[in-house]
Each structure stands twice: as structure tokens, then as C-alpha cells.
Amino acid sequence: MKLFSGNANKSLSEDIAKYLDTTLGNAVVRRFADQEIFVEIRENVRGEDVFIIQSTSFPANDHLMEMLIMIDAARRSSARRITAVLPYFGYARQDRKPGPRTPISAKLVANLITEAGADRVLTLDLHAGQIQGFFDIPTDNLYAVPVMARDVKANYDIDNVMVVSPDVGGVVRARALASRLNAPLAIVDKRRDKPGQSEVMNVIGDVTGKDCLLIDDIIDSGGTLCNAAEALLANGATSVTAYISHGVLSGGAVARITSSKLKELVITDSIEPTSAILAAHNIRVTTIADLFGEAINRTALEQSVSSLFD
């Protein structure tokens, strides 16, 4: 087994390698003067089981191209098997045609990764589970819920928590966390008038006196979560904490979170946190390095990955 990392999230890659008691492979990923990407793998990978770790986070296009070129370099170096490890799979929000003459970008990106030469894909909390079917190669979609459940048990009185889905579409994810915590479930019903904006309508479930845990896969602008937190507090919740798999947090999202009524926002390190995120008083980062390390180890040994979530 050999691990290589692009430039998107080196710290996570190093933590995964540490869990596996190994080191990252020697690969150069740099730019020419015109910003064209150059990759060179500086060690033998012939016949090896190669794992390339790269989140397609901001700048998404650059990091996606790094991933594709690294896969191509490994394929042309006669690697036995190449697994694209994508802690955060960008373009996942474009998984269907919401209107005429629009692309399904998630399928396009899946095709690019497959055609570049990847044999497998390993990712975390896809925005929509059906994206696994966009790949014509084996795809393992890991779940952050076990990591979140351990964090909740370590930091909260689980006898008083209520898990809340910020919309109807996230109920399955929220139910999975509620089941692990043996906690009740509530839903925030909202209507979205414009992209990036949401209007909270009502709360389904009695949250009075409860420490509410909002759970979702992606936080981008932060508007949905902040509105949901206000609605829950207005309905009698004692506090509101959010657990999110992928902290995109673009634009003024960090400022919006720090000035919101959220007690805490907990995100994973699937996307490398910025200095603003690390400095925020109510944003905390929990690692998924052990989860990915174990999944990579089981993949290399041809063992079950799904049993991680039993």
C-alpha cells in the first residue's frame, strides 16, 4: 500500500498516514508559471495498491485537476490498483437537472475520475446517496455519524439531547444519529425562495427544554443553520449545536456563525479549516483521520468496509 496526497488537505493526509503507521509517498504536485499543474511521483509504484487522498474543496477546479493528473501519473506508472480517496466530493450538489438546459455535474466529475484511471472511490457523506451510482467503479461512501455520536457522548448530557434535521431531505441522516444516541428526533420545515437563502416555517416536534443537535452534510453560507437555530430557540430549545460533515463555509459564513445563536458548530476536517475557522470561538473541528485510515486499511486487506458502521 502506498499513500499519496494532493495539496487540498495535507494535514488530514498526514494524520491518515500516521494512523496506518506509514508515511506519505514522495510526490511533487506543483504549478508551472502559467498555473498549469505538474505532477511527478518520485518512487516506484509498479504493482502497488495506491491511494490518492484529495478533497475537491476550494479552489475546487484546481484540486480536481490535481486529483485527475495524479491518478493518470499512477496509472502510467503501472500501479496495480488506484483508489481515489475524496474526503469531500465537490460538485455533489449538482446531482440532478433542477431545470431545463442545466448539467448534472456530479456525473461528469464521476466520469472524469473513472476515465483518468481510478479503480475505486472512497468518500464521505455524499450529498445524495445515489451519486454512488454515477461511478462505474466500486464506490464506498463512509459516514461521519459514528464520529459525531462519540463526540456528542463526550461533550453533552445525552439524556437531554434532541437530534434535529434542518430540512425534510436530511431526515435519514438525522435518524441515524438519533438511533445511536437513543434520542428523539425533530425536523425543521423550511421553504427556500432563492438559492442560498432559506426561510424557516415551523418546527415539527416538541423541542422545549432540549439541547438540540442539528445535523447536516454541508454548510456553505450558513444561512439555513442560523435560521434553524433561531426557530428552535423560539420554540423553547435550551441550546442549539450543529454537527456538519463538510465545512465549506464560503464568503461571510464564518462571521455569520460567530454572530449567530448557535452554541457551537462542529465540523470534520474533510476540508482543511482556514485560519478564520480555527480562530472562531464557537466553531470546533473533529478529525475523521481514523475513520479513513481504517477504511483504507480494510480496502487494502480486502476486508469489509460497511462493517465499520454496524
Binding annotation for ATP: 34-36, 93-94
DSSP 3-state assignment of 17? helix
State the number of CA atoms in the 13 A half-sphere of 125 facing the CB. 29
Of the residues 190, 194, 210, 263, which is catalytic? 190
Give the whole-angstrom CA distance, residue 256 versus residue 226.
Answer: 8
Question: 239 with 218: CB under 8 angstroms?
Answer: no
Neighbour tally for 8: CB within 10 Å? 28
Give the whole-angstrom CA distance, residue 221 versus residue 226.
Answer: 10
Q: Are strands 161-165 and 211-219 parallel, antiparallel or unpaired?
A: parallel
Give the whole-angstrom CA distance, residue 16 versus residue 24.
Answer: 9
Which residues participate in the annotated binding site?
A: 34-36, 93-94, 127, 167, 192, 216, 220-224
Question: 244 with 216: CB under 8 angstroms?
Answer: yes
The verdict on whether 190 is a catalytic residue reads yes
The distance between the two most distant Cα atoms of the chain, rounded to a whole number of Å, is 61
Which residues participate in the annotated binding site for Mg(2+)?
A: 127, 167
Residues noted as catalytic: 190
